[in-house]
Structure 1
Amino acid sequence: MANSPDVEEPTREYPVPDEAAGPAVPPPATPPSSTSDDTTADSPSRPSGFARLLIFTAFVFALIVAACLGLRAVHVLPSFSNPFAAKTTDRSQPVLLQSMRDLSRYVAADGTFQVIVDLQSDKNNIPDFLINDRTLFVGSGTVEEYVDFGSLSTNALKIDDTRKSVTITLPPPQQSTAALDMDKSYVVAEQRGLLNRIGDAFKNDPNKQQKVYQLAQQRITDAAKGSGLDQRAQANTQKMLESLFARLGFTSVSVTFTNP
């Protein structure tokens, strides 16, 4: 059948349906992209399966820790110590008795002193930042003043029973060497030069502070000599003897000290 010149040819955009095949079905309309984006944006984001597993594991672990702490609080579970805690081991040897002696001294007074020792050791014409060893030490020590009754002569004690009187001649009080109290003594600061620090890295001297201790001990001992401890010791010794002989029935007690 010939086409009429007045009828236009069918195009691809508008195909002519075949009468035998039936009417043409239009393709489904594609929804606008904006609608799809809006729907996706409005829907809430849900965590992935791995994230939900992590949250569940953390929750279970927190419950287990809380339960263990609660059981430890009521002393149901034993307490576990830190496996990396500091540990101190005492490997000291048994104490060895070196000497023993009988004392016949009466400690009549003592004094506690404190001294600040600033000891520096350096070299002439060498800068301090190269060679320098300076220690600042606070020392606290006690000095005792005592009367030695073991050195009394045979005529040191004179007793008059008829008069109920006694005369005692004693040696002068003696002073002991200062004993440092290490619980109250401490090193404030130490300064060392560059070469000193390098030398200490190869050779460590555990007795290098011994000079500081000895100096502090000597300073305290010397200071106690002019502190008036000897006069206090004489007065305390006299009071002690007067009280002792008064209880024995003596009405007159005379105590004298010989010259040092």
Structure 2
Amino acid sequence: MARSARFSPAPRRLPSARWLVPPLFLVLLLAGFLLAGQLRLLPDLSNPFTTETKDRTGPAVLKSLRDMSRYEGASGTFQVVVDLEKDAKFLPDAVRGSRTLFIGTGSVGAYVDLGGLGKEAVTVTEDREGATVRLPHARLEKPALDVERSYAVMKERGLLDRLGDLFSDNPGDEREVHKLAVGRIGEAAKESGLTARAERNTEDMLENLLRSLGFERVTVSFGEPGGRG
């Protein structure tokens, strides 16, 4: 009786290793280059994933010119803590509301305006040894907020406010707290005696100037006729 031949299935061929090595080699090579770039081993090879900053800001444009005819006799630096809170009437703070704690630092100058003085503002005696100068009272300049030294300590915002920031052109806008800080600094400057100090310093400056010109008796007054203010 003839025996039937037994056939065994042909063994499955595994993918050739030459198809696996190149992708793995490329991955390792790329990782090596990136690592070398981070470790400064290849100084001439720049990291292809770094960002490049390009400044396309145009030049500043001159809008106006103004002659300065004032003497700044004093200047003060002030700091204020602005605590601004906004609440919704029928919603909890976690849903709608905000609170900002802001430290504002700014300066205010005090000056005497010399641009509007007429001939009657200065009187010289017949012997030319005495001089009287009448000036307007000192004024305060507008407060200038120092943005480099001003900062927000705390910002708390409700869920609806945070969602609104996603559709806002200026999320986290701090113009309101800046305005409040400038206002408080201006109020503090009015109570600080800066104008009185500026007048004393202006008086000392003019006395020294006129004495150097040969005047022995010098009188400086503020707010009298002949001076504006």
TM-score tier, shorter chain, comes to 0.7 to 0.9
Shift of residue 91 of structure 1?
A: 2.3
Q: Cα deviations across residues 185-225 of structure 1 (Å, max 9, x unaligned)?
A: 11222111011111212234358311111111111011001
Q: Deviations over 1:39-96 (max 9, x none)?
A: xxxxxxxxxxxxxxxxxxxxxx9xxx8xx97xx8xxxx85544443343322223211
State the alpha-carbon separation in 2 of the partners of residues 207 and 193 from structure 1: 13
Note the alpha carbon deviations across 1:159-208, whole angstroms, 9 max, x for none.
11405000001000000111011111112221110111112122343583
Find out whether 1:158 has 2:107 as its counterpart: no
Give the aligned length.
Answer: 189
Residue in structure 2 matching 1:189, options 137, 143, 154: 154
1:124 aligns with 2:89: yes
**1:77-88 matches, cutoff 5 A:** 79-88=44-53
Distance 2:84 2:191 in 1: 24
The letter of the residue matching 1:120 is E
Q: RMSD over aligned Cα, in angstroms?
A: 2.3
Q: TM-score, normalised by structure 2?
A: 0.75
List alignment gaps of at least 5 residues for structure 2. 1-31
Change (3 A) 1:206 1:96: farther
| Rg larger for | 1
Q: Could you list the per-position Cα deviations for residues 73-129 of structure 1 after superposition, in whole angstroms to 9, with x for gaps in the alignment? A: xxxx85544443343322223211111110100000000001111112222122111
Kindly indicate whether residue 58 of structure 2 is the aligned counterpart of residue 96 of structure 1: no
Q: Which residue of 2 aligns with 1:148?
A: 113
Q: Is 2:211 aligned against 1:250?
A: no
TM-score, scaled to structure 1:
0.67
- Say which SS state the counterpart of residue 126 (structure 1) adopts: coil
Deviations 1:211-245 (Å, cap 9, x if unpaired)? 11111111101100111111111110011000000
Q: CA 1:207–1:131 in 2, change beyond 3 Å: closer, same or farther? A: closer
For 1:167 and 1:222, locate their aligned partners in 2 and report how far apart those are by CA, in whole Å: 33
**C-alpha spacing 1:207/1:245, structure 2 compared with 1 (3 Å):** farther
* 2:213 partner amino acid: L
> Alpha carbons of 1:207 and 1:164: their partners in 2 closer, same or farther (altered >3 Å)?
farther
**Match of 1:143, SS?**
strand
Q: Distance in 1 between matches of 2:108 and 2:157?
A: 33
1:1-260 equivalences under 5 Å are 79-205=44-170, 208-258=173-223
Identical counterparts, % of pairs: 46
Q: Secondary structure, in 3 states, of the residue corresponding to 2:79?
A: strand
Moved more, 234-243 or 199-208: 199-208
* Structure 1 unmatched runs, 5+: 1-60
Name the counterpart of 1:55: none
Give the whole-Å Cα distance in 1 for the aligned partners of 2:99 and 2:206. 50
